Structures are given as C-alpha cells and as structure tokens.
Amino acid sequence: MIRLALAVLASMVMTAPLRAAEKVSDFTLDNGMQVVVIEDHRAPIVVHMVWYRAGSADEPPGQSGVAHFLEHLLFKGTDTLAPGEFSATVAKNGGTDNAFTSYDYTAYYQRVAADRLPLMMQMESDRMKNLRLSEDDIKTERAVILEERNMRVDNNPAALFREQKDAAQYLNHRYGVPVIGWRHEMEELSLEDALSYYGTYYSPNNAILVVAGDVQPDQVLALAKQYYGVIPANPDLPKERYRSAEPPQTAERRLVFRDARVAQPYVSRSYLAPERDHNAQKQAAALTILSEVLGGSTTSILAEKLQYDSKTAIYTAAYYGATSLDDTTFDLIVVPAPGVTLQQAEDALDDVLAGLLENGVDQDRLDRVKMQVRASEIYALDNTEGLANRYGRALTQGLTLQDVQDWPKVLQEVTADDVLAAARTVLDRRQSVTGWLQAEEVGQ
C-alpha cells in the first residue's frame, strides 16, 4: 500500500502544473515602488504586504537592532492614527496583521477580506512617511525589545550559542550581528537613530508592494497609485546597498559554548556558501537538493547513517539559506544519543560527509528527494500568504519574478554530478565553524 501510494503521488507530482507564473502581474509606479499582484480567487481574502529593501545588515555600525526597533515603532501613531489604532482597525475588520525583520528586509502585512484592501493601503501608506514618535515612545518600546531579547535570546542557551557561532562565521559582514541587536547597543538606541533609519529607507522607491488573493491586477494598480503613488520618492536613497565584505576564510573556526541550563548538548557546523543569484540559480539549487539529501527528512543520509544504523544520534538536520543578498551558510546539526560524546558525534558526522564526497549521491535517492521537493513546491501554491512571502523575500534580495518562477524547474534539473560538485565546493573545513553546545559541568 505504501509503495502504491508513493507511485500515485509521484504521478500526480510529475504531471501537476506549476501555475504561479500565470497569475502574477508586475508594475512599477512613477515614484519607483514595485507592485506585484498574485491572483488567487478561491476565497474572498487578500494578503497585503509592504517589503522594504532594508534590514539589520543595513544598519549603521553601533546601532544594531535599530531596524527591528523601528519595526515596533511603526505601530505607534501617525498624523491620522493614534498609537495602536492600526492593529485595532485591522482586528475590527476581521483581519490579522504583523511585521518581521530579517538581515535583508523588513516587511509589514495584513490578511483581511478582499473588500478591505483599500483601507489597508490607506493605513500602510500613511505610516510609510507620516510616523510620529516621542521620547516616551522610544523609552517604552526600547524596554519592549530588550524584554524580547531576554525571552528569545538571553534565556535560551541555544539562541546565545547561535549568536556566538554567527559572529565567528562572519568576521566583518553584518550577518554576524544579531537581527535583534546586541544588548549593549540596543540600550542606547535613540529617537534620532530610529528617525534616521526611517528617513533613509522607508520610501516608495525602496519598497515592494505584494498583494495576493481575490483581486484583479488593474484594481490593485489603481489603488496603489491612489495611496502609494502620491508619496514622493526619496532622492537621497543610497544607490547601492553597501555591505562590509567578508574576507576570505582560510582557516577552520571552532567554539565551545557552555551553559548550566543546557539539557541536550549538540554539535553544529556551518560553512560559508554562495547565495541564490539572479540568472545564476544552478549552484544554489544543487545546494538546496544537497541539504535535503543530507538532512532534510527521516530518510536522509544523516538520519539513516547516524540515527538508525549506528544509533549515534537522536536527531540530525541540514539547512541551506538560499535566499540571501550576500554569502549565506550551509548548516549541519547532530544531537548525540545518550552515552555518545560530542567528539564522537562530530567524528561520525565527518565520516558521513567523507563518504558523500567520495561516493556522491545515488540516483534513486536523488530522484526521491527531487520528487519530494517538487511536491512541496506544488503544495506551496495553495498558501496565498506563503506565495506573497516567497515573492517579497526574493525581490528584496536581488532576485526577479522570473527567477522565482524558474526556481522549481532549476531544482528539477539538478543532477547527481551537480550535487557532488556543490558538496565538494562548499563542504570545506577551511571555511567552516564548528560549535559544541554543552552544559558547564560536562567535560568532553
């Protein structure tokens, strides 16, 4: 029965059309704002997102966390909205809203009934340029983000470990600075810092409007012109997104992070890896497939070798952050089984990697992984919010609509030789950081 079900799934997956490209429209307003419309008429809802091509990696030195700080502050008042009124209005209209900040972007979104789209555009365009802040707002919200850091980072040994590991991986690039910020710099963030970042990056010529759902492209364009098109472009927007470059890594880096709160030690390793680029997605696709082959599921190589065959680990995983403006990482994790030391777990990981680099990937495993990836890409088309997120994230990081639409095809064109070549290029210990997370009393 299982084999039959897999065969049926394979048939469905291989014949299912990738229809996203047929329902995406793209416009540019006179002030430089990009407008992307993704049609999905199955339900009378709409996802409205504004993405700014600015994140924590665009912050001035010494002001880490200001991008995330400003994200919080945008929910304060404007000339026409009282503090908190934005979200209250969305909720009153039966919708949900939120925002998020990453290294390369900051995004704001609402999910509402389709006929509420004009109201969302009216409010979102208002806070693009009319934010009003006071010193009391700064003090209150600075306390909020510091408490958020307490909860998410300072009280979480794994999060503290990841911060230190990222800092070791990126010696000079801003990806080595946490998105939420270093505490000592967060404590000093000021009204002037927030307004300077806001004035520099929050303008239509640095923004992408993504609207997905039960809408027509001409309707969205007309509304975008009405609400966003009247906002002047910022003539002082930096023409290039300046980033301090990472020097070539020529030596392996290691760290041990000890914390008495650690209940489950583990080994983590990251390698510097190329990101997915416009018109050059082949290597990123091979690395994406490699991450699935190595540690993407319970049928991956790491799980098979370390969890089931040798019983060395209770959990293994591999991750690759393809969508990134600058060099990204390829990451591996091994959580050792009881009685297995971190050194033994790391040695077992190295044995698996050595075998992969010597023997490559067998075709049956590759075909199975590619089928799973294709199924995932097709199922993702049923998630309107996920599609809006996919396009917005890609566009803020230098990719185009065509790159997004070509991506599933590029993934399916990956060969076993491509995977092996990518593995031999990236899995080089000289460009890696290996970290051990363990309790203070454990001596490995």
Span 93-104, pLDDT tens digits: 999 999 999 999
> Which of the 8 DSSP states describes residue 313?
E
For the chain, what is the mean pLDDT? 93
Q: Residue 8: is its pLDDT beyond 90?
A: no
Do 333 and 316 contact (CB within 8 A), yes or no? Answer: yes
pLDDT band at 43 (very low <50, low <70, confident <90, very high): very high
Please give the backbone phi and psi of residue 72, each rounded to the nearest 5 degrees, phi first.
-65, -45
Span 206-259, pLDDT tens digits: 999 999 999 999 999 999 999 999 999 999 999 888 888 899 999 999 999 999
Span 147-164, pLDDT tens digits: 999 999 999 999 999 999
Segment 58-79 mean pLDDT: 96
Segment 185-200 mean pLDDT: 97
Percent of the chain with pLDDT over 70: 94
Query: Residues of CATH 3.30.830.10 domain(s) within the chain?
Result: 17-227, 253-438
Structure tokens at 152: 């998410």
pLDDT band at 169 (very low <50, low <70, confident <90, very high): very high
Fold of the domain spanning 17-227: Cytochrome Bc1 Complex; Chain A, domain 1 (3.30.830)
**Residues identified as active-site:** 71
pLDDT band at 22 (very low <50, low <70, confident <90, very high): low
> What is the pLDDT at residue 137?
95
Write out the DSSP string of 217-285: HHHHHHHHHHHTTTSPP-TTS-SS---PPPPPP-S-EEEEEE-TT-SS-EEEEEEEE---BTTB-HHHH
> What CATH number is given for 253-438 in this structure?
3.30.830.10
Question: Facing residues of 434 across strands?
Answer: 254, 269
Question: Facing residues of 176 across strands?
Answer: none
Do 69 and 189 contact (CB within 8 A), yes or no? Answer: yes
> What is the pLDDT at residue 381?
84
